[in-house]
Amino acid sequence: MSTYYVNEAAFGLPGGHLVDRTETRLSVASGDGGPITLTVHRQPLPPGESLSAVVAKGRQQAGRSLPSHVVLFQRDVEMASLPAIEIAAEWRDEGQPVYTRQAHVVLDGVWLIFAGNVPIAERPRCDALMMRLVSSFQRHG
């Protein structure tokens, strides 16, 4: 039996090894306008893969699966002194333009993806939120 911990509790699960592939959605009030949905994905970094390789594969998949997907920029940054990658892209959802801003970082073998998706008109608010996230990111423990 393995014990799994969440913020509010812990519980037992059968089996000896758990793989955490948590996805958290936060509704963030940010400036004027409605809340921005921030999604936090976590999953193990595949063995033998680098952050840049998994991000490149994710870009390729988005290019195949999201209509009119265009990467606006990709840049190397640091989050808590760790190498990280930021990406901004546009695509269409049911014909409407969408803006995506992501930050990718690996912490103790876990690939963390922070993603904000907003209508294109909300791009400045999403950029401000993601810049704040990247600059304030801290390691715990």
For the stretch 37-63, pLDDT in tens is: 999 999 999 999 999 999 999 999 998
Per-residue burial over 23-52, b if 16 or more Cβ lie within 10 Å, else e, is eeeeeeebeeeeebebeeeeeebeeeeebe
The Cα 116–Cα 122 span in angstroms is: 10
Q: Which pLDDT score, from 0 to 100, does residue 141 have?
A: 67
- 95-129: pLDDT as tens digits: 999 999 999 999 999 999 999 999 999 999 999 99
What is the per-residue pLDDT across 61-92, written as a single tens digit (0 to 9) for each? 998 999 999 999 999 999 999 999 999 999 99
Q: What is the pTM of this model?
A: 0.90
Cα distance between residue 75 and residue 114, in whole Å: 15
Q: pLDDT-based confidence at 21, cuts 50/70/90?
A: confident
18 C-beta neighbours (distance < 10 Å), count: 10
